[in-house]
Amino acid sequence: MTVASALAAFAIVALLMTLVPGVDTALILRSAMTLGRVEAIVAALGICTGVFIWGVAAAAGASAVLAASHVAYQILTYAGAAYLIFLGSQMIYRSLKNKDVEAIKVDVPRSKWRNFTTGMVTNLLNPKIGVFYIATIPQFTPTGTHSLLMGVALAAVHVLLTLAWASVLIIGVKLAGRWLSSARAVSWMDRITGTVLVGFGVKVALSRP
């Protein structure tokens, strides 16, 4: 297996993982609808940063410790679950409290950094991403290749695919902008996204390593 073929094969696996609806998709859609295109891009960059950090950490062997330590895995799992449930509950509460778009679109500059941090932390507190990398990196690292550099390359492929999918989602929201910008649509998006986050949080908390 050459480096090029390894990257191409990994891209297929990473693409399938990226396209599966989940927390990342919900966060990007919610940001695009309630805050705007720039904020959604910032959220996507935060998500990509978390993905890239996990890829490099897995290649460096950090996630091997996580996979080997049941206690460390459980601590990270419960921390991630609590964070997702907190975010989801906050969105649901805000959607019920704020009835108009202007009330939701407050403090935009601060929201940009909040979106970036939310996307990054959500991924960093998801141990399954680390397990995904520790399981795939050895399979897609050709013999004689530096594992750390290959891990960085694989993570970069995953990041590019994530950005491409985020762009598709953001463009889709823009095309349906008039309807999606209504106060009713914004409120319902917050409720749906919040429910998704809470649901994933509960699922993560109850999952087995």
What gap in Å lies between CA 180 and CA 182, rounded to an integer? 6
Least confident of 124-128, 159-163, 179-183: 179-183
* Top-ranked range on mean pLDDT: pick from 35-39, 52-56, 158-162: 158-162
Rg (CA), the chain: 18
* Top-ranked range on mean pLDDT: pick from 26-30, 73-77, 182-186, 199-203: 26-30
Residue 140: what pLDDT? 83
- Per-residue pLDDT tens over the stretch 125-149: 877 777 777 767 777 878 777 778 8
> 151 versus 107: which is more confidently predicted?
151
Q: What is the mean pLDDT of residues 1-5?
A: 86
Q: Which domain holds residue 62?
A: 3-13+23-206
How many domains are there within the chain? 1
In a domain, 94, yes or no: yes
In a domain, 96, yes or no: yes
Residue 203: what pLDDT? 73
In a domain, 18, yes or no: no
Q: Report how many helices (DSSP H) and strands (DSSP E) the chain contains, helices first.
A: 11, 0
Q: What is the mean pLDDT of residues 30-39?
A: 81
Please provide the average confidence, as pLDDT, over all residues in the chain.
76
Q: What percent of the chain has pLDDT over 90?
A: 15
In single-letter form, the type of residue at position 18 comes to T
Whether 178 shows a pLDDT value over 60: the answer reads no
> 65 versus 187: which is more confidently predicted?
187
Residue 80: what pLDDT? 64
Residue 186: what pLDDT? 60
Residue 177: what pLDDT? 60
In a domain, 85, yes or no: yes
Whether 23 shows a pLDDT value over 90: the answer reads no
**Which pLDDT band, with edges at 50, 70 and 90, does 100 fall under?**
very low
In a domain, 77, yes or no: yes
DSSP string, 149-204: HHHHHHHHHHHHHHHHHHHHHHHHHHHTHHHHTSHHHHHHHHHHHHHHHHHHHHHH
What gap in Å lies between CA 55 and CA 139, rounded to an integer? 14
Question: How many of the other CB atoms lie within 10 Å of CB of 143?
Answer: 5
Residue 104: what pLDDT? 41
Residue 69: what pLDDT? 65
Whether 99 shows a pLDDT value over 70: the answer reads no
What gap in Å lies between CA 148 and CA 58, rounded to an integer? 9
